[in-house]
Amino acid sequence: MDDNATLLALVRHGQTDWNRQDLLQGSSDIPLNATGRAQATQAGLLLSDASWDRIVTSPLQRAVETARIIAEICGVDSLDVDPALVERDYGAAEGMTREQATLRFGTDWPGEESYEDLTVRAVAAVDAIASRYPGQRLILATHGTFIRAFADAVVGAPTVKPENAHSVRFSGAPGAWTVTAGLHLV
């Protein structure tokens, strides 16, 4: 590994009640539940295998709380909020199951961010953060579909959305990332 490489751990937030009910939450600001806080603690313990320079989080409270728990466990003092790390917006389908949304709207959900747009946004967001902190070790507390979109772009193939509080690690630099751990192909 290049000593000047930026190291990234993209961490999905812990569980929310909407995750447990299989509801689309996207840009809806839903808090962690007790299981989610326990998952964030476990993620922090797993991430404490390395030293980290900074945590950057989505502004949604489920990601912010996950980031704060991890920061405390990993001894990271620098926590930044970046709105570009928000989850995919599911528009009018938020608060519904996928099945309910499909029955109501078909396959075209009003106000939904396309997966292609999300992928472009995810790559741009991660690259911009890495450009601000070159060569640092960064934890990005974000969301499952956001992580999957970034990972799909990096590997050029469909990947599995990470479970709550799981992380995928990358190394490299903007435009030149390599997966180092935690990724599963479809």
Structure tokens at 19: 């995750």
Contact 65, 44 (CB under 8 A): no
What DSSP string describes 142-168?
E-HHHHHHHHHHHHTS-BPPPPTT-EE
Structure tokens at 56: 């950057």
Q: Which residues are annotated as catalytic?
A: 13, 87
